[in-house]
Structure 1
Amino acid sequence: MPDQNILFQPVGQYCRREVATCRADDQLVEAALRMSDQGISSLVVCDNNRPVGIVTDRDLRNKVVAKGIDPCSLTVSSIMTSPLITIGEQEFLFEALHRISRHGIHRIVVVSPDCRLIGIITDSDILRLQTNSPQRLVRRIEEAQTIDSLRELHQEVQKLVVHLFGTGVRIHELVRLIAHLNDQIMLRLIRLLRKGTFSDLTGRFAFLVLGSEGRGEQTLTTDQDNALIYADDLTPAELQRIIAFSDALIECVIKIGIPPCPGGIMANNAVWRLPLSGWKKTLDQWFDTPTPDHIMKVSMVSDLRMLTGDTGLEQELRTYIGGRLKGNDLYLGHMLNNLLRFKVPLSWLGKVKTERGEHRGQLDLKKAGIFSITEGIKLLALSVGIQAHSTLERINWLVEAKLMEPHDADDLTAAYHALVFFRLKSQIEAIQEGRTPDNRITHVQLNGLEQARLQSALEKVRSFQEYLQRQFRLGQII
């Protein structure tokens, strides 16, 4: 099996099943002796074979020894880390690495579907399974010290994705990997800036990614879509540092190789860099006057995801947007009307219609169907207050809420995967041929099976558009 494909195998196949455990009410001294005797650095704390926490040698050093506390007076529960970060045994090794990286830990506990202890796996365990892996790339990103290094690593992401695509990795896992690696590059850049020129920067702000980046659905051609929110009561000096930081950050992102947003949706633009009260006021204006431009902006910001910063600011803004849209059929109808401007390129006989003129024989997959699926699912989710991030998560929540039939969800998911597959395939071919990747495919270059798959996906998109019109009764609302 190719090294990279190991990341898409179940964690349960590779975790260590023999796990040293203890109870929360065990004496801490006894737990420390057990770790010393067995030559291990951690114990999983269990209650009836269900992991509830973990205690490590680092906990002993930082929480007991460094503070001069007598360990004889403590139980394990006094210093254990809880709640515990866990992963299901059927989830992929890639997801384990993602959680390890996101939470800044070195090991993760593996559990069964009923949350019983199965085993444990570390980042080093997974790294030893591979010689050329996304995790190695993540480590290189974390160790990067310059903008030039990050630019090279951004190019390495593309090379890795090109390789993985040819090894049969499932498309939605590949898209998640792209998003994760792009996140790591942005986070490293922000850390470098805050460690250097902006070491005095206040922490009372949140850097947000929007649109496909906010949903974690980027492929190999993307520009920037980001914003920034900061606390209302910053001092003038703090605000000036926020402005300078935003300008420097976006300048560096462009240097890394991520092009600027043509529409200016970036944190260095004052429209997209506001205090919390300013965001609410601006959103009110966008909601009260549903012009095409305002509808687009509401759509972008409703996909927001915080990359770093103050979670309270992000959550309050998210809650405000959700409150304005939940049950707001009038505005959602305007958003749907904007979506329906992108006609599904099928003839009345059901045959695929390609473009004419400059892009003769080609098809823009984003306009042809991807946008209708991502935007339509977003509308359904927002109409009932579902706050999930990605399109697939939103589909799952809609099924759970009995707002979408499972077979309809399966059809739409299959159509979405097909369209993203064709887009990524075309982008990879463009990179291999030295061309700039975009959202287009050339229809005649698809084989018969691929053409049939594409046509079937577009038929499902057209049916979904018709469903949305019935759901929001477009003609009666607008």
Structure 2
Amino acid sequence: MDVKTLIVQVKEAESRHDLEQLGQQLPVLQIHLIRTGADAHVLGHAISDLADAFTGRFIQLAEMALGPPPMPYAWVACGSQGRREQTVHTDQDNALILAAPVDRASSHYYGQLAEQVTTGLDHCGFTQCAGAVMARNPRWRQPLDVWEARFRDWIKQPERQSVMLAQNFLDLRTIHGDRTLLEHWHHRVLALARQHTGFMAALALEALRDRPPRWLPGGTLFRWTGGSSMLNIKRAGIIPVVSLARLLALTDGVMVRSTRERLQAAMACGRLSEAGGRDLIAAWDWMTLIRARRQVDDLTQGRPPDNRLDMAALPRQDRHRLRAAFQVVRLIQDTTGRRVASFLLQ
């Protein structure tokens, strides 16, 4: 089954049960895409487009059950869905932006809608966020003026937790509803964030906090010390690039959301050299591809997919490419990333 056909079937599904049955095709789709030569960029767009379709149809079914919404709203996604970089091992990160303050009846309506949608997505394989960053959580289901006030507080008081929350929401993308709610807010928030050097500096420090390891697990040194050969590729390599790309985009006022597009924009703005940007994009492509391949191995062997690589079992050539990718990320962090951070800290 190809992506377009599955999306059509999702949009035409008549019940939650039908959607849940279609959700079982997602692992099969990832296996097919990777085995037929798709890279992680293509895979990320495919799974994210399907997540958008599932979300939209669950919302439509919820509205049919609950009645017309009492006011305009926007269902937005952040994280990997917001950036269109999902795989089948992805939890859901979403929120609701409401056009106006709610009364008790409206609050109940949107609470029920969020519960039905997030539960449905969970049954389709998009697991619920362990940190409860979901529209079913009243904290992430607020009127526009509350969201703006909250983001202003995060920017003006950039403690680490505030920065971590803010950087996730810089990836927001509207999935369903009134797109103008996010668009207007997003422009105002980005402008405000760039004006506050304290927030930008804190964002830069947070973006450079996670660094790829110098030594790969599974080698002689780790065997001598009895260390584990497992490596979380998302934490070790993917998140550092996502964070750096987000920082560069915000520094230059670029509105794109995907990591690849943000790096390309940084090259166009001169923030990244052509060679450095090309090498970093290649490193990003390899790390995300090797994760997707490992997840396919898990799926075909009946294991739940995750982000871990067994470095002891990784072919020598793949180990060398991964080590080279980590070196590129560390180099860009030490040059471009720290140059931006130093500028912001002045």
Identify if the C-alpha distance between structure 1 residues 251 and 170 changes in structure 2 by more than 3 Å, giving closer, same or farther.
closer
Paired with 1:357 and 1:254, the residues of 2 have a C-alpha distance of 40
Aligned to 2:62: 193
State whether residues 354 and 443 of structure 1, in contact with CA within 8 Å, keep that contact through their aligned partners in structure 2: no
Deviation at residue 242 of structure 1 after TM alignment: 2.1
Paired with 2:275 and 2:100, the residues of 1 have a C-alpha distance of 47
Aligned to 2:182: 314
Identify if the C-alpha distance between structure 1 residues 353 and 300 changes in structure 2 by more than 3 Å, giving closer, same or farther.
farther
Aligned to 2:4: 135
Structure with the bigger percentage of helix: 2
Aligned to 2:48: 179
Aligned to 1:433: 301
Aligned to 2:342: 473
Query: Which residue of 16, 39, 56 corresponds with 1:170?
Result: 39
State whether residues 296 and 305 of structure 2, in contact with CA within 8 Å, keep that contact through their aligned partners in structure 1: yes
State whether residues 152 and 189 of structure 2, in contact with CA within 8 Å, keep that contact through their aligned partners in structure 1: no
Paired with 1:378 and 1:168, the residues of 2 have a C-alpha distance of 28
Which runs of structure 2 are paired with 1:276-291 in the superposition (5 Å)? Answer: 276-291=144-159
Aligned to 2:263: 395
Query: Which residue of 442, 452, 467 corresponds with 2:310?
Result: 442
State whether residues 10 and 54 of structure 2, in contact with CA within 8 Å, keep that contact through their aligned partners in structure 1: yes
State whether residues 327 and 383 of structure 1, in contact with CA within 8 Å, keep that contact through their aligned partners in structure 2: no
Deviation at residue 254 of structure 1 after TM alignment: 2.3
Secondary structure at the aligned position of 1:342 is classed as coil
Deviation at residue 354 of structure 1 after TM alignment: 6.7
Please report the TM-score for the alignment, with normalisation by the length of structure 1.
Answer: 0.67
Deviation at residue 398 of structure 1 after TM alignment: 1.9
| Residue 100 of structure 2 is aligned to residue 232 of structure 1 | yes
Deviation at residue 203 of structure 1 after TM alignment: 5.0
Which runs of structure 2 are paired with 1:217-256 in the superposition (5 Å)? Answer: 217-232=85-100, 236-256=104-124
Deviation at residue 179 of structure 1 after TM alignment: 1.1
| Residue 329 of structure 2 is aligned to residue 461 of structure 1 | yes
Identify if the C-alpha distance between structure 1 residues 396 and 356 changes in structure 2 by more than 3 Å, giving closer, same or farther.
farther
Aligned to 1:411: 279
Query: Which fold has the larger relative contact order, with Cα–Cα distance below 8 Å and residues 6 or more apart in sequence?
Result: 2
Paired with 1:243 and 1:177, the residues of 2 have a C-alpha distance of 29
Please say which of residues 460-469 and 353-362 is displaced more in the overlay: 353-362
Deviation at residue 249 of structure 1 after TM alignment: 2.0
List gaps (5 residues or longer) in structure 1.
1-131
Aligned to 1:50: none
Q: Deviations over 1:449-477 (max 9, x none)?
A: 11111011000110121121122118x83
Deviation at residue 347 of structure 1 after TM alignment: 4.0
Q: Which amino acid aligns with 1:337?
A: L
Identity across the alignment (%): 27
Query: Which residue of 289, 292, 303 corresponds with 2:160?
Result: 292
Paired with 2:160 and 2:136, the residues of 1 have a C-alpha distance of 23
Please report the TM-score for the alignment, with normalisation by the length of structure 2.
Answer: 0.92
Q: Deviations over 1:56-102 (max 9, x none)?
A: xxxxxxxxxxxxxxxxxxxxxxxxxxxxxxxxxxxxxxxxxxxxxxx
Deviation at residue 415 of structure 1 after TM alignment: 0.3
Paired with 2:250 and 2:223, the residues of 1 have a C-alpha distance of 33
Aligned to 1:89: none
Aligned to 2:141: 273
State whether residues 155 and 193 of structure 2, in contact with CA within 8 Å, keep that contact through their aligned partners in structure 1: no
Paired with 2:226 and 2:3, the residues of 1 have a C-alpha distance of 38
| Residue 259 of structure 2 is aligned to residue 371 of structure 1 | no
Please say which of residues 180-189 and 355-364 is displaced more in the overlay: 355-364
State whether residues 352 and 455 of structure 1, in contact with CA within 8 Å, keep that contact through their aligned partners in structure 2: no
Paired with 1:278 and 1:353, the residues of 2 have a C-alpha distance of 52
Paired with 2:163 and 2:222, the residues of 1 have a C-alpha distance of 28
Please say which of residues 208-217 and 315-324 is displaced more in the overlay: 315-324
Aligned to 1:150: 19
List gaps (5 residues or longer) in structure 2.
none
Identify if the C-alpha distance between structure 1 residues 381 and 222 changes in structure 2 by more than 3 Å, giving closer, same or farther.
same
Identify if the C-alpha distance between structure 1 residues 403 and 337 changes in structure 2 by more than 3 Å, giving closer, same or farther.
closer
Paired with 1:322 and 1:456, the residues of 2 have a C-alpha distance of 34
Deviation at residue 388 of structure 1 after TM alignment: 0.4
Q: Deviations over 1:381-419 (max 9, x none)?
A: 111211101111112222222322222111110000010
Q: Which amino acid aligns with 2:28?
A: K
Aligned to 1:215: 83
State whether residues 148 and 256 of structure 1, in contact with CA within 8 Å, keep that contact through their aligned partners in structure 2: no
Deviation at residue 355 of structure 1 after TM alignment: 11
Q: Which amino acid aligns with 1:326?
A: R
Paired with 2:44 and 2:69, the residues of 1 have a C-alpha distance of 33
Paired with 2:126 and 2:176, the residues of 1 have a C-alpha distance of 18
Which runs of structure 2 are paired with 1:110-121 in the superposition (5 Å)? Answer: none
Deviation at residue 234 of structure 1 after TM alignment: 5.0
Identify if the C-alpha distance between structure 1 residues 343 and 168 changes in structure 2 by more than 3 Å, giving closer, same or farther.
same
